[in-house]
Amino acid sequence: MKVIKFLLEKEFRQIFRNRSILMLIMVMPIIQLILLPLAANYEVKNINLSVVDHDHSPYSQKLISKITASGYFKLTGYDQSYKDAFHLIESDDADLILEIPNGFERNLIREDEQKLLVAVNAINGVKANLGGAYLANIIRNYNTDIRFELLPSEKFNQVPMIDITSSNWFNPFLNYRVYMVPGILAILVTMIGGFLTALNIVKEKEAGTIEQINVTPIKKHHFILGKLIPFWILGNIVFIIGLLVSWLIYGIVPVGSLTLLFGFIAIYLLAVLGLGLLISTFCDTQQQAMFIMFFFMMIFILMGGLFTSIDSMPDWAKTVTRFNPVSYLISVMRMVILKGSSLHDVLPHLGVVALFAIGLNSWAILNYKKAN
């Protein structure tokens, strides 16, 4: 164990001597945490809506005014026919068409049932899809209002509850920043930890210093631990800085236990650093290590559930995300920070990440060759 002390002493000396890198490690996440959530705002406003009202009734008017009052929609057309409205979609002037059929009011009152047609311009898919979802929500609300007005109160009980997706449930104002910040922090911690470790051993290979280490009787697991521990500490510091930034700038205070959060990050970092170390045992140059790490990071980030929802991925992609440590961190961060989930809730995630940590680090130790 005394050997580890010397390894750590040396590693920290080198880290602290390289001030510019140290500054980057500390300052970069702060800047990114401030900038990225502002840019990655999924809340869509000014959705161009074209309405085709065949009914011209007080009820259809009421629906339209409810939609425009929501603040998300801009009425760009009020057309006579679906065909006219469709021209607007073709010229990209409308994102959505809402068609209210003839007899809307009558059917609603008498038959208690009515169909509306919503057409979506799929070119700007995100905007139109979200718009469609908002519109559906508004119509559902309207539906409840109407029934409340029309029906006797005992019948009101049968009205289905408005279902809101769980993310909105815990994030009631649809504040995407609250949703994004924990995810972005997860990615930052992963990138910093992964890249630093991937490049570190390779740097020693390039400089030739690893040869001088390999010719000593040092134990392989001591060497790997000597690389793991410093970056583990650094990763934790970055995470703490990140939590402070989210609190100071976004007012995000974890609903759940901080201890649980730190416990999870502690194990998660071992997994990510293990991957970095493993990559560096395979590579001879920093360029190789960089590219391989980049390959994994791209997949981790794009398939981590931050920018695209894992639920809407095809099955094969869902299977891939099961091997993506970032997806576990992002969901645990959201669970603990936004929902206040307990250890019991995140235990499955913790188990998988711990397996990654053990597997990747053992592999790194095995694959680190003192002789060739």
Partner 1 sequence: MSETVIHAENLTKRFGDFVAANALTLEVYKGEIFGFLGANGAGKTTAMRMFCGLSIPTSGKATIAGYDVYRQTELIKKNIGYMSQKFSLYEDLTVLENIRFFGGIYGLSNAQLKSKSDELITQLGLQHEAKKLVSGLPLGWKQKLSFSVAVLHQPKIVFLDEPTGGVDPVTRRQFWDLIYDAADKGVTIFVTTHYMDEAEYCNRISIMVDGKIEALDSPGNLKKHFQVDSMHEVFYQLARGAKRGE
Chain residues that interact with partner 1, rule: CB under 8 A: 2-3, 5-7, 9-10, 13-14, 17-18, 207-218, 370-372
* Residue among 372, 371, 362 at smallest CA distance from 277: 362
Contact 200, 227 (CB under 8 A): yes
Of the two residues 3 and 26, which places its CB atom closer to partner 1 in the complex?
3
Of the two residues 70 and 214, which places its CB atom closer to partner 1 in the complex?
214
Minimum separation from the CB atom of position 220 to partner 1 (A): 10
Of the two residues 2 and 115, which places its CB atom closer to partner 1 in the complex?
2
- Which structure tokens are listed for 309? 């929802």
- Which residues pair with residue 371 across a beta bridge? none
Of the two residues 37 and 226, which places its CB atom closer to partner 1 in the complex?
226
Of the two residues 144 and 214, which places its CB atom closer to partner 1 in the complex?
214
Of the two residues 213 and 313, which places its CB atom closer to partner 1 in the complex?
213
Minimum separation from the CB atom of position 235 to partner 1 (A): 22
* Residue among 188, 185, 191, 190 at smallest CA distance from 334: 185
Of the two residues 133 and 207, which places its CB atom closer to partner 1 in the complex?
207
Of the two residues 4 and 40, which places its CB atom closer to partner 1 in the complex?
4
* Residue among 261, 273, 233 at smallest CA distance from 331: 261
Task: Name the amino acid, one letter, at 326.
Answer: V
- Which residues pair with residue 53 across a beta bridge? 100
Contact 322, 310 (CB under 8 A): no
Minimum separation from the CB atom of position 3 to partner 1 (A): 6
**Beta-sheet strands, E only, within the chain:** 47-53, 73-79, 96-100, 117-120
- Beta strand 117-120 pairing with 73-79: unpaired
Q: What are the Cα distances from residue 296, in Å, to 105, 195, 196, 304?
A: 56, 11, 14, 11
Phi, psi of 73 (to 5 degrees): -115, 145
Minimum separation from the CB atom of position 225 to partner 1 (A): 13
Of the two residues 72 and 231, which places its CB atom closer to partner 1 in the complex?
231
Minimum separation from the CB atom of position 200 to partner 1 (A): 13
* Residue among 224, 212, 252 at smallest CA distance from 340: 252
DSSP secondary structure of 177-244: HHHHHHHHHHHHHHHHHHHHHHHHHHHHHHHTHHHHHHTS---HHHHHHHHHHHHHHHHHHHHHHHHH
306 alpha carbon, distance to own chain's centre: 2
Minimum separation from the CB atom of position 23 to partner 1 (A): 16
Minimum separation from the CB atom of position 207 to partner 1 (A): 7
Minimum separation from the CB atom of position 13 to partner 1 (A): 6
Q: Is 108 helix (H, G, I), strand (E, B) or coil?
A: helix
Instruction: State the chain's maximal CA–CA distance in angstroms.
Output: 89
Q: Count helices and strands (H / E) in the chain.
A: 16, 4
Minimum separation from the CB atom of position 365 to partner 1 (A): 15
Of the two residues 7 and 49, which places its CB atom closer to partner 1 in the complex?
7
Phi, psi of 320 (to 5 degrees): -60, -40
Minimum separation from the CB atom of position 370 to partner 1 (A): 7
